[in-house]
Amino acid sequence: MESFQPVIVAFCCHYCAYTAADMAGSKRLHYPANVKIIRVPCTGKVSALHIMEALRKGADGVYVAGCLDGDCHFRSGNTCATKRVAYVKKLLDEIGIGGERVEMFAMSAGMGEVFARTATDFTEKIRDLGPNPARVGLDKLGCVGAGA
Amino acid sequence: MITAERKPIEDLIQSVSPYRRILLVGCNECVTVCSAGGRKEVALLSSALQMHFMKEAKPFEIKEITLERQCDPEYIEELVPIIDQADAVLSMACGCGVQEIARRFKEKPVLPAVNTTFMGASERQGVWAERCAGCGDCVLGVTGGVCPIARCSKQLLNGPCGGSTRGKCEVDPDIDCAWQLIWDRLKALGMTERYEENIPAKDWRTGRGGGPRKIVREDLA
Amino acid sequence: MQEQRNSELSNKVLIVGGGMGGIRAALDLAEAGRDVVLVDKSYSIGGLMTSLDRTFPTNNCDLCTLSPRLSESGRQLHIELMTMTEVGSLTGSVGKFKAGLTTRPRYIDLHKCTACGECYRQFPECVRFTPGLDHRAPTCMRYPQATPYAFSIDIDACKDIEALVGVCPAGAILPDDRQTTHEVDAGAIILAAGSELFDPRVLDTYGYGVYPNVVTSLEYERILSASGPTGGALVRPSDGKKPRKVAWIQCVGSRGLQKGSVPYCSSACCMYALKEAMVTRERFLEDIETTIFYMDMRTYGKDYELYLQRAKNDYGVRFVRSRPHSIDPAFSDGAMTGALDIGYMPYGSNLPAAEEFDMVVLTVGFRVSNEVRELAARLGVELNDHGFAKTETFEPVASSTPGIYVCGLFETPKDIPETLVQAGAAACCASAHLSSLRVVNDKKDDLPPERDITGEDKRIGVFVCDCENNIGGVIDVKAIAAELLGLPDVVAAETIGHGCSRDSLERIQEVIRKEKLNRVVIGACSPRTHEAVFQDTLRKAGLNKYLVEIVNLRDQDTWVHPDKPAFAASKAKELMHMGVGAVRMTHPLTDYTLPMNKDVLVVGGGVTGMKAALSLADGGFKVSLIERSQHLGGNARKLRRTLGGDDVQAYLATLVAKVEGNENIQVLKQAVVVDHTGMAGMFKTGVQVGPRMVYRQLVHGITILATGALPNRPSEMLLGKHKAVVTQLDLDSVIEDDPEKVKALQNIVMVQCVGSRVPENPNCSRICCQSAVKNALRIKALNPDASIYVLYRDMRMPGMQEEYYTRAREKGVVFVPYELDDMPVVGADGDKISVTFTDPVLGSTVNVPSDCLVLSTGFVADEESTEDLGIIFHLPRTSDGYFLEDHVKLRPVDLPTPGFFVAGAAHSPKNLRDSIAQAQAVASRAQTFLAGDAINMGAAIAKVDSNRCAACLICVRACPFDVPFINSEGHSEIDPAKCHGCGTCASACPAEAIALMQYEDDLIFAKLDGLFERTA
C-alpha cells in the first residue's frame, strides 16, 4: 500500500482556510501534494452533494475547512457546514464507504501552520484507510467489463 | 403539506438491487418543501446509490428527473420518453406519486424511496410535526384550533386521559398533551364553556372507516 | 466643508521620485481624485525595489508584487508620469507652488515605442541601461516590467545615428529630441527621492572592487534574480563556480567606526541579509552554508522576530556576533583560490579568529546622494547632518517647508512597509492643501465594448506564469501548457513569464483578440491577490471579466512542494485541468453597485485614533471616534518624553483640544462596540455609550481600528513585589516628576526584552530599546555619576536612533548582552536589588547591587479587545493577538475585509512617531475608498430560478442575513443589493433553485471532473 497516493479534495472558504493555505505557501510550509483545494466563498456554500460527488467522482477523502467557531465572515456558514458534514458522514456509513473519509476543520486566516498540519494529518489518515472502496469497486468493474 | 422521510439507505439498496437501470423521480411539491424528495435529495440519493454499487462492483445506472408534481397525470407524462431506459422507477414522492407512476406505466416496477408520514406543518427549519389526520369531518372549530384526532395520541374527543401530566402526554414526554393545548387555547379565547360541550362519538365513515375516499367537484369535473 | 476650501488652490500634487513610496503616494492621491505629476530622474520608475530579487518577510519576488502597481500607475488617468525629469526650481508657497521641471531627451517617442528591442539588438551600446552586477543583463530595460515600457537612447554613444533611426520598425527614435522645460502648478509637494547604497570601495580592509567574490548585498540580489546577469544561477563572479560557503557582513558603512561610515543604522539591512541567506538556503538547500556576522540583529518589525527565528531554526542560518576587521584572499599553492578569509574577533574572546568563505556579501546601507542634497537645497528643504530630511516627532512626514512632505528613505532609512506607510501619510498631508475634493472617475477608462459571446463555441485560452523561479523553478511550465493544448475547447496555451507584468497582460489581450477566446485560464499566484488584475485584462480585451479562472500554482503548489518537483508538476497539471473544467462553466456576469455612505468610524481614542480622525475630519468627512475609557489619549497619557525629548503631554493636550473642538468629529467616550452588520460603504455598528451603556447605532462607510496595545507588566524579576523594581514607563514619570530621587540613585540596572521575544510573547516590542536609552540619557543628565548597566539581547536602535545609543555609550552607560538561556538573575537585597549576569567580555559572572532595577517590558497585544472586535467585525488576528493586515508588505494598513483599516499599536508595537505616520496613512487609504460614490458589490450574488422554486422558505430561514423572501409571485426573491454572497441558501435549497454566481454547482462539479479526468 506504500504506493497509494490518496486524492483529497479540500473545500476551503475564501476568508479563512483558503487564506491560511496561501499563508502556508508564503511561509514555505510543506504539506502533501495530494490535497487539492476548491475555493468557496464560505463553507456554508458546500452542500452535502458537493462532498458526495467529490467522493463518487474519485476522491479518497474530502474535507471542508472554514473559519473558527464564531468567526465566520458570513456569521454562521461554518456551523451549517459542520452539520452537513455530520449528515454526510452518516450517509457514507450507511452506504459502506465510511464516514471517516470526510471531515470538517476550522482555522483562521493567519493559521498557515494549522492548514499544513491538517492537510498532512488528514492525508495520512486517508492513506491508512486505503483507497475509496467505490473507486476500487469501479476499477474491478472496469476489469470485469474488459474481460467480458 | 404531506411530509415524508427518506427510507433507510439499506432498504433502498435492497429494493433496487434486482435492477440495473433505475429512473429516480423526485417531486417539486410537498416532498421538496420537507426536504425528502426534491431535486437536491434526488441528486444526493443518486450519488449515494451509485457509490454503493461502485463499491460492490455491480453495474448500476441511474437517471434523475424531478417532476413538478407526481400526483398529477399530466406531469407524469414527462416520463414517457425516458421510461424505457429504466428497469424500474424509484420515486421520491409521497405514496400518491408512487401510485400515479405505477398507474401510468403498468409494466414498470415502481419503488417508493420515502416513507410518507403525515400531514403536518414545519415548526422551524428542519422540524416538521403532525397536525392533521384527514378524518373528513373537521372539529377544529370546537377544539380551539387544536386537533384532538391528529395530536392526541389516543384521539380522545372529550378531554384528556389520566395520562396527561404537566401538559405532556404519557406516550412520550416530548409530546404536548393535545387537550392541555386545547384548554389553554380556549382559555385564551375566553371560551372555556366550549370545553364543557360534549363532542358526540365521531362518525369515522368520513375518514378511513368508509373505505377509500374520493372528492368530486361537479362544476369542475 | 468642501465649499470653504479656496478654489484658487491647485488640485495637483507634485511627487518627486518614482520608487515604491512615490508610486504609492501617487496611487493614493489619484484614487482619491487628485491629480498627480510623478517625476523621476531615471528613464523608468520603480526605484531601488526593482533591483531586488525577493522581499522579506514573504520571500516573494518583487517584480511580481511591484509590477501590478506600476501597471496601475501607468493606467491611472490622474497621474502624469514624467521620467528623465528633475525639479530645477521652486517658487510660490503652500497651495500655490510653481515648479520648474527639466526633462532630458529620451530620443524615443514614448507613444510609438513598443519596446520590441530591435534598437538594443543592433546597437547595444546606444541603449541606456543601469547595470546590476554585470554591465549587460539579458535585457536593456532596467527590469522586464519597466514603466514606461519604452527604451531610452544614449545619443552620445551612438556613432551612426541614421542607422540607429533606421532599425526602429515603429519609427520611434527621435534623433533631434531636445531637453525641455515645463512649469507645473502644485498645491503640495511630496519628496520621495530615495537614497543610494553605500559604495564599500572606500573600505580598504574588505577588498571590495579588488576581490571579485566580495560583492554588495544589492549585487547579490542581482545574482539571485532571474532577470539578473546570471539568469538566477548562484555562481561566484571570479570563476562561475557555485559557492559552498557564503558569509554576510552586516553594517558595512553604517553604525560608525569604519572609514567613510555613517553613524546611523540603515534599518532594513538585517532583514534583507536574513532574506538573502534564507533564499540561498531554500534554493540550494543543504549545499550552501550561510553565515551572518552581526553586531545586533535588528528585526524589530511586525513578526520580523519570527522571521529571525525561522532563519535560525528552520533554515539553519548561522549567526556570529562580531564585526570582522578584514577580508583577505585565500591562497593554495601560492595562488589565489578565489576564496576569502574573514578575520574577526569573536565576541567575548580575546583570541582573533579567521574563517574561509567562497563568497562574502557586504550588507551595505543607505546614503543620501549629492543629487538629492542639491535637490533639497533647491527646494529649500532642511536636512539633518546626514542629508536626510529634517522632520519633527509629531509630524513625521512634514519637511521644514510648509506644503512639502517627505517619505521613504529620504526621510530616514527604512524598509518597504514603512515606506508605504509614510507615502500614505504624505499623501494625506498633501491633500489637505488642495482645492475642494474632486469627483473621481470624471475621466473614464477607455474600454472597448464587451463582446457578446452568446452562441459562440467555447474557445479557451490557457496562460501559465513562471513567476520567475517561484513557479518556473519548480515545474516545467512549458510542458504544462503543451499538455493543456490537447484538451477539448482549448485553442491556445502558452507560458507568459510574469503573468502580471505589463507585457504579459498585453500578450494575453492580444491572444484573446487573435484567437477570439471567450474563456481564459491563468496558472499564476493566488486569486486572492491577482484576480482583479487578470479580470481587468479580460475586460480590456473586450471580454466579460468573469470569464477567467485563476489557478493558484504558486502559493498552493510550487511554494509548498519545491522539494518534490514531480509531485508539484502532477498537482499543477491536475489544478490546471480543474481550472479548464471550471472555466467552461463560467458565463458573463454583471457587478452590482450601491450608493456609498461616506462617514467614518474610528475605534480607539489614543493618539493614533485621534490623528486619523482629525486628518479625515479636516478633509470634510464626518467621523465618530469611540473610546472605551473616560479619556482620550490612550497610552500617551502615561508617557512624558520621547527619545528626542519632546513633551508628550503638551502635544497630547493640543491634540485632544483639536479633536474635541472639531465640528466634524463626534467623540463617544466610555463606548464599547457591541454589534456590527453591513459591508464597506454601508456599515452599521452598535455601540453602548457612557456609564449607563446607552445603545446607539452608527452608520458609516469605513472603519478604522486604532485600539492600541497594552503596556506589558509581566510578574517577572520582582516587578510588583519590590519597590526598587519598575518599568521603563514608570521610570519615565519618575525622572520627570521626582528628579531628586533620580539624583540619589547610584547603581541602575536595566533589563531589556522582559516579556518580549519569549515564547509567551514572541515578537519584539520595538519601543523598549529606545525607552532604555532615553531614560539612561536622562538619568545621566541629572546624575552624571550614576552607574547604568543595560542588559540586552540586541540593541535595536534603527535609523537616527543609533546616535542616541552611541551618545549613551559615550556618557558611560554600560551595555552588556545576555542570551535567552543565560538570563540575568535578580534577588531582593533589603532596599536594593542584586542583579547577577554573565559579562561575555570579562568572561565571568558579575553581581551589581542596584538601587533601581528597570525592566523594559514593552507591549502586549490587547488580546481581550482585539479578540472581541475580531469576532464582531470578522477580522483576522496574528497568533499574538494583533490585527492581521491584508499584505504585510504592500498593504500594511489595509485589513483583508474591504472598508477596514488598522493603525498604531493595534497593528504591532510601535512608538508615537510611527503610530502618527500610520494614522495619516490610514486616513489616506480611507480617502481613496471614500472618494467613490458607489460600492461595488461584485457579482457573487445568489440568484433564484423561479421555475424551480417551491417556495419552501428554507432559504428564507437559512440566510444568515435575512435577505431572501417569498415575493408576491410566490417564489423566493433575493435582493442583490443585500446579498452577501455566502451561498448558504444555495446549498440549503431542496429544489436546487438557487445558484451562487461565480460559484455555481456545475462549475464546482466541473472542477471535480477536471481533477478526475472526466469530461462530463
Give C672-701 pLDDT, tens digit per residue.
999 998 888 989 999 999 999 999 999 999
Look at residue C5 in the predicted model and tell me its pLDDT. Answer: 41
Q: How high is the mean pLDDT of chain C?
A: 89
Question: Can you name the CATH fold of A8-147?
Answer: Rossmann fold (3.40.50)
Distance, C-alpha C530 to centroid of its chain: 16
Using omega within 30 degrees of 0 as the cis cutoff, is the peptide bond preceding C57 cis?
A: yes
| Better-scored residue on pLDDT, B189 or C53 | B189
What residues of C are in contact with residue B2 (Cβ under 8 Å)?
A: none
Residue by residue, DSSP assigns C446-515 as: -PPPPPP-TTPPP-EEEEE--TTHHHHTTS-HHHHHHHHTTSTTEEEEEE-SSTTSHHHHHHHHHHHHHT
CA angle C727, C731, C737 (to 5 degrees): 150
The CA distance from B58 to the nearest CA of chain A, in Å, is 7
| Better-scored residue on pLDDT, C452 or C68 | C452
Residues of chain C with CATH 3.50.50.60: 1-104+179-195+368-445, 196-367, 600-708+862-934, 712-858
Instruction: Tell me if chain A has a CB within 8 Å of the CB of C1008.
Output: yes
What residues of B are in contact with residue C954 (Cβ under 8 Å)?
A: 33, 35, 125
Instruction: Tell me if chain C has a CB within 8 Å of the CB of A44.
Output: yes
d(CA C426, CA C448): 36
- Which CATH superfamily, name and number, covers C600-708+862-934? FAD/NAD(P)-binding domain (3.50.50.60)
Residues of chain C with CATH 3.30.70.20: 941-996
- Backbone dihedral angles phi then psi of residue B5, each to the nearest 5 degrees: -135, 140
Look at residue C55 in the predicted model and tell me its pLDDT. Answer: 62
> Which residue among A33, A53, A71 places its CB closest to the CB of C571?
A33
pLDDT, tens digit, 9 for 90 and up, residues C446-482: 789 999 999 999 999 999 998 878 899 899 999 999 9
What residues of A are in contact with residue B56 (Cβ under 8 Å)?
A: 137
Look at residue A145 in the predicted model and tell me its pLDDT. Answer: 43
Number of H-type helices and E-type strands within chain A: 5, 4
Inter-chain contact A95–B48, Cβ cutoff 8 Å? yes
Exposure string over C693-723, b if 16+ CB within 10 A, otherwise e: eeeeebebbbbbbbbbbebbbbebbbbeebe
Q: Neighbours of B (≥3 Cβ pairs closer than 8 A)?
A: A, C
DSSP H or E segment with residue C773: helix C768-782
d(CA B2, CA B69): 12
Substitution target from C944, C948, C1005 for chain B, most B beta carbons within 10 A:
C948
Which residue's C-alpha cell is 481564459? C520
Among B95-104, C319-328, C497-506, C637-646, the range scoring the smallest mean pLDDT is: C497-506
Count of pairs with CB atoms under 8 A, one residue in A, one in B:
57
pLDDT at C795 over 70: yes
pLDDT, tens digit, 9 for 90 and up, residues B175-201: 999 999 999 999 999 999 988 888 899
d(CA C30, CA C25): 8
Question: Can you name the CATH fold of C712-858?
Answer: FAD/NAD(P)-binding domain (3.50.50)
CA angle B68, B73, B75 (to 5 degrees): 25
State mean pLDDT over C537-552.
95
Inter-chain contact C992–B28, Cβ cutoff 8 Å? no
Look at residue C1016 in the predicted model and tell me its pLDDT. Answer: 38
CA angle C737, C743, C747 (to 5 degrees): 120
Spatial neighbors of C255 by CB under 8 A, at least 6 apart, are C261, C263, C264, C265, C295, C802
Inter-chain contact B35–C950, Cβ cutoff 8 Å? no
d(CA C256, CA C933): 53
pLDDT at C818 over 50: yes
pLDDT, tens digit, 9 for 90 and up, residues C303-314: 899 999 999 998
pLDDT at C442 over 50: no
Q: Are strands C682-689 and C671-679 parallel, antiparallel or unpaired?
A: antiparallel
Residues of chain B with CATH 3.40.50.11860: 2-118
What residues of A are in contact with residue B125 (Cβ under 8 Å)?
A: none
Spatial neighbors of C781 by CB under 8 A, at least 6 apart, are none
Closest chain C residue to the Cα of A68, Cα to Cα = C871
Look at residue C609 in the predicted model and tell me its pLDDT. Answer: 97
Substitution target from A22, A31, A43, A76 for chain C, most C beta carbons within 10 A:
A22
For residues B140 and B189, the answer to whether their CB atoms sit within 8 Å is no
Closest chain A residue to the Cα of B59, Cα to Cα = A141
pLDDT at B35 over 80: yes
Domain ranges of chain A: 8-147
pLDDT, tens digit, 9 for 90 and up, residues C118-148: 787 788 788 765 433 333 333 333 444 456 6
Please name the CATH architecture into which domain C1-104+179-195+368-445 falls.
3-Layer(bba) Sandwich (3.50)
Inter-chain contact C950–B124, Cβ cutoff 8 Å? no
Give B198's DSSP letter.
P
Q: Does domain C460-587 have CATH number 3.40.50?
A: yes
Q: Identify residues of B whose CB sits under 8 angstroms from chain C CBs.
A: 28-29, 32-33, 35, 38-41, 43, 66, 122, 124-125
pLDDT, tens digit, 9 for 90 and up, residues C401-413: 999 999 999 999 9
Question: Can you name the CATH fold of B2-118?
Answer: Rossmann fold (3.40.50)
Whether ipTM exceeds 0.90: yes
The CA distance from B15 to the nearest CA of chain C, in Å, is 24
Look at residue C375 in the predicted model and tell me its pLDDT. Answer: 95
- Backbone dihedral angles phi then psi of residue B25, each to the nearest 5 degrees: -115, 120
End-to-end CA distance of chain C: 61
- Backbone dihedral angles phi then psi of residue B163, each to the nearest 5 degrees: -90, 5
Inter-chain contact C992–B43, Cβ cutoff 8 Å? yes
| Better-scored residue on pLDDT, C627 or C148 | C627
Q: What residues in chain A have per-residue pLDDT under 70? A: 1-2, 143-148
Exposure string over C254-284, b if 16+ CB within 10 A, otherwise e: bbeebeebbbbbbbbbbbbbbbbbbbbbebe
Q: How many CA atoms lie within 13 A of C847 on its CB side?
A: 8
For residues B91 and B111, the answer to whether their CB atoms sit within 8 Å is yes
State mean pLDDT over C384-393.
94
pLDDT at C16 over 50: yes
Spatial neighbors of C421 by CB under 8 A, at least 6 apart, are C892, C893, C914, C917, C918, C921
d(CA C159, CA C161): 6
Provide the 10 A C-beta neighbour count for residue B18: 10
Please name the CATH architecture into which domain C941-996 falls.
2-Layer Sandwich (3.30)
The CA distance from B33 to the nearest CA of chain A, in Å, is 17
d(CA B154, CA B136): 18
d(CA C682, CA C950): 32
- For residue C760, with 0-12 CB atoms within 10 Å meaning exposed, 13-18 middle and 19 or more buried, which class applies? exposed
| Better-scored residue on pLDDT, C52 or C945 | C945
Among A57-71, B168-182, C22-36, C243-257, the range scoring the smallest mean pLDDT is: C22-36
Look at residue C76 in the predicted model and tell me its pLDDT. Answer: 57
- Backbone dihedral angles phi then psi of residue C98, each to the nearest 5 degrees: -125, 120
Residue closest to C627 by CA, chosen among C662, C657, C669, C688: C669
> Which residue among B40, B52, B57 places its CB closest to the CB of A144?
B57
Query: Which amino acid belongs to residue C387?
Result: G
Look at residue A109 in the predicted model and tell me its pLDDT. Answer: 82
d(CA C430, CA C50): 26
Q: How high is the mean pLDDT of chain B?
A: 95
Q: Does domain C106-174 have CATH number 3.30.70?
A: yes
Alpha carbon distances (Å) from C1001 to A54, B40, C992: 12, 11, 9
d(CA C172, CA C170): 5
Query: Which amino acid belongs to residue C793?
Result: R
Inter-chain contact B33–C948, Cβ cutoff 8 Å? no
Residue closest to B40 by CA, chosen among A76, A103, C1004, A47: A47
d(CA C620, CA C639): 31
Q: Identify residues of C whose CB sits under 8 angstroms from chain B CBs.
A: 948, 950-954, 957-958, 989-993
Q: Neighbours of C (≥3 Cβ pairs closer than 8 A)?
A: A, B
d(CA B18, CA C185): 88
Which residue's C-alpha cell is 466541473? C1006
For residues B173 and B116, the answer to whether their CB atoms sit within 8 Å is no
Please name the CATH architecture into which domain C196-367 falls.
3-Layer(bba) Sandwich (3.50)
